Structure 1
């Protein structure tokens, strides 16, 4: 009887095994796609938040210095209004002791730097400090809104595009800042 019971017990057939493998593969595939989409969503949100924070810092810094500044006193822009590697814009303002101080906005590769400097003479620029505002700049432009040259303008529009890639995500964040030089042509 024991021998008959052993012979009558059946194992699983090849068809049943294939159906189980197909069902398992579908469950794993669905789970993986949900996981990847969630990772991509979280990464996109993380990058977007970082780029928005960088844009906010750049925006407030441009506005603060622009309001204190007497305007753009010097610029080196190789391609019309588009800022490229090595291009810069110098702004002049008075410090607490009524001394002339200069701030340079400089593009180096994908990095936007803010340099505070003093000018000993017409051709010598001494960098006192340097701050990296962003390492994600892919495009920067500056235009005089009032139709004048940058050095003569009272108001400029600065457009910047930040871009960052991480994992499955690649995001661009364009923004612009309108800077009004309220101390332009003021005599002390």
Structure 2
């Protein structure tokens, strides 16, 4: 028996809808999937180039901040390890003013090195750039894996493109700022 309220054909049987097994509206129509074309594959190829640029830039930034962390962090740690026994020896010596000045200067240098390293947080910044680079690489791998499949086994082109673009937009909005000397190469979005 036909439902009098439905005046157009639908792919879902009325009995299934009445039993509640399908929650879609009767007015929904089956969606036509966009087929994979050379133009869509070219869009994904362009996205891969953009992702490669992001990966390279964030890797460069990661190594840049890693170098800064090494430059400012290690000398302070090594110098403090050296100064602890020297300070103990200086304290046990008699009133040698030169030794006390050298001791105070060394600890001042340690404070500057460690303070700079901690204030700018180079280690964490380095790790953040490496993490975002890896996340861009994950998106690039997903594209590569999808393009490796034969067209009939791929996800629908429009859904996959939307999903990938949303992931890229999310990564772009959460990505840390690149240093000026690395960020000079503009990336088109």
Give the TM-score category using the shorter length. Answer: 0.3 to 0.5
**Greater strand fraction, Structure 1 or Structure 2:** 1
**Which structure: greater helix fraction?**
2
After TM superposition, the score normalised by the length of structure 2 is 0.33
Q: Please give the TM-score of this superposition, normalised by the length of structure 1.
A: 0.34
